[in-house]
Amino acid sequence: MSKLVSLFIVLTLILSNQGNVYAEEKQSLEIKSEAAVLVDSETGALLYSKNSKERLYPASLTKIATAIYAIENGNLDDVVTVGARAVKEEGTRVYLVEGERVPLKKLIQGMLINSGNDAAVAIAEHLDGSVEQFADNINKYLTEKIGVSDTHFSNPNGLYNEEHYTTALDLALITNYAKKNPIFSEIFGTKELGWSGESWETTLLTHHRLLKGEIPAEGITGGKTGYVDESKHTLATTAENENIKLTAIVLKADSSKASYRDTNKLIEYGFSNFTHRTIKQNERFTIHKKEYYSKNDIVITVHVNGSIESITDQGMLQVVNNGQVSQSIQLEVKEPKPIKVKDEKLLSSEQSSFNAIYGIIVLGLAGLLIGVRKRLVKKQ
């Protein structure tokens, strides 16, 4: 009886200790924003998630989508004629003048670096003729090209509209996709840029305080801020060190300070806890006596203390970090070796030989029977 009690106490202590470790880790990464994600920019692995699929208003993080859409669907050397609607757009601007002619790339720079709402509208009208047509086209683009699942934009700049929403996870997908484009990546990481327009000459400075260096942080490579009353503070940030590249999204923070504090926590967590491992081409995995393999080298994101890698019955490799599937990769099934069948000609030859032998035996038996019969006839 005493042994059972001792075992129970030991198990209780172990489970209690594991719970405390988990609680401490969660507490050390306590995120105040309504929603947040941390994603590996290269592998797409989801490393941290809080309300990642909740529909929220992105504010000016919308401009990340507008920028990559414009880069991929427009000619950056085009000269855009600014229309009346762009000039009247409220909020942050680069103070465009109606009829002013501005290169498309410069408008994208003004939109991303200084968060120019007027520049975003000028881009939309140039590409698709109207803001309304732009909205139809970019929603289709985001769904079909990038693979978002719960995003709908009604304008190019993120000014509040009830039907203008996205999720933290979708924004991470959009940012990761955009960062693969070198032109976007360059503009997204620009800290300052000289601006000369008809009504405004200045030096544009990024509004992102981590990128600007106002708040100390290591490895920041790009960023975009956002705010409207309905969305509160939103922030998109990319960072990298020698081991990993990260994308952090926080939505609906109560203050600018909170959004940066949450972002710093996410990035530090990613740098401290994750790295890459390469699954080599033809590396084998077995489940239920069935073999699967990787067709090419595959990079996965793993915890520095080790991650769980498991195979589903369908041959899906799942990487589990902190109790959640962070990455799923479909492997190839290794087909069983076919049973070797002898050459048809050889089989035909063997069959002919068998038939010949069989014929000789039959003839021999027939001759023997005839001989026996003759002897019987003579005796009679």
Q: What residues act catalytically? A: 60, 63, 115
> Are the CB atoms for 52 and 248 separated by under 8 Å?
no
Write the DSSP string, 45-63: -EEEEESTT--B--GGGHH
Give me the amino acid identity at 367: G
Residues with Cβ within 8 Å of residue 204, at least 6 apart in sequence: 94, 109, 110, 113, 114, 192, 193, 194, 195
Rounded Cα gap, residues 289 and 176, in angstroms: 37
> Are the CB atoms for 107 and 80 separated by under 8 Å?
yes
**Which phi and psi (to 5°) does residue 83 adopt?**
-95, 175
Q: Which two tokens stand for residue 28?
A: 């050390």
Cα atoms in the 13 Å half-sphere on the side-chain side of 103? 9
Per DSSP, 165 falls in state B
CA 339 to chain centre: 41
71 forms bridges with which residues in the sheet?
none
Rounded Cα gap, residues 265 and 281, in angstroms: 35
**Block residue for tokens 């890459």:** 276
